[in-house]
Copies of this chain bind each other. A is one copy, B any other.
């Protein structure tokens, strides 16, 4: 049986970055850019005022005080018509173009109107270039601003808008079909009759996918029945990734692997040395155009969650062009733990930081069917295979569940 590390390696070997697509700017937040971006403008496009005030020749205020004749008023969006000469000034608003002749702007707070066309300026520290941003200071036309691979944060979105990119080429979010399988499942809105339970994996998987910055495609519940399962899986293969839960153990109704094979999905591995999550199935479907990663996760909700974090999430990062890694840390156990068994255990746990470095507490948990037990958890504590008694203070590896 494969170890977790080897299985993950096999998954990532089959994951390739999705082909870039054009996205409208308003849908680009959080994506990775797939083209270089150059500025099509100088920014600012003209020498501009950084404050509301008066454009002058700084030399006129060498004594700290002087009277000026007002030539005109320029607001942002206007173009000045007149040239500022010694003894004259143009009233100017923040962002407006500096008139020819002027080399400084004095803030409006330092002005005193004499009459409609004359005023007194008092600014002991007036210097050339004061309160002016020169043309092209922020951006020069033709300069490359962003490179492929850049993460599009709000700042990048603002800059892209500034240089006129209402559409950009970026690696898309992976589309991930989520399909829960099993005759025992009913919808959330139903009251389960005897022997049945509600489908908790479907909604949880969709949320895990969204949390991983990918787009869930909820396919509902597939019955353990060849024809219906085939139809649902076919729909799932239209996405970039298909996640199934249930139907991958050794049971008589565990049709999933056989139907997948029938539909041309090539098995890469089945079963991994871990607890919970051993029955994990992974395969790949491809034609000339596309490749789909197919994960058959065990049906117990905690196994589903653990396998998602260990294998699916890193694959989604890869498809989206992000570096892939588990968010791990080392932490000290708060209480003893008895590990036994031939598989490494990923036990639900909770991190604490009381100022003495990271600590981790295993939370009470009644096995892979106990999803409610996970409500108190924010991480998975890793105990290697074997018989071993852990003591408080022992350092172990912890995988954080948070995005």
Contact = CB atoms under 8 A, between A and B. Distances in A.
Contacts of A323: none
Nearest to A369: B133
Contacts of A163: 198
A301 interface: yes
Given A161-B202, A188-B25, A79 B211 contact: no
B371 A155 contact: yes
Interface in A177-201: 182-185, 187-192, 194-201
A251 interface: yes
A215 B207 CA distance: 18
Tell me what chain A mostly uses at the interface: helix, strand, loop, or mixed.
Answer: loop
Interface in A201-255: 201-208, 210-211, 218, 224, 246, 249-254
A161 B94 contact: no
A385 interface: no
B161 A76 contact: no
Interface string A98-110: 0000000000110
Contact of A251 (B94, B139, B185, B189): B94
Contact of A155 (B158, B252, B377): B377
Copies of the chain in the assembly: 2
A216 to B, nearest CB: 8
A203 B251 contact: no
A200 B374 CA distance: 44
B73 A252 contact: yes
A41 interface: yes
Contact of A138 (B41, B97, B187, B369): B369
A166 interface: yes
B94 A154 contact: no
A401 B300 CA distance: 39
A374 to B, nearest CB: 5
Interface in A132-177: 133, 137-139, 145-146, 153-166
Given A76-B253, A158-B305, 11 more contacts: A26-B203, A26-B206, A29-B210, A77-B185, A78-B195, A97-B195, A153-B401, A155-B305, A158-B200, A159-B200, A164-B189
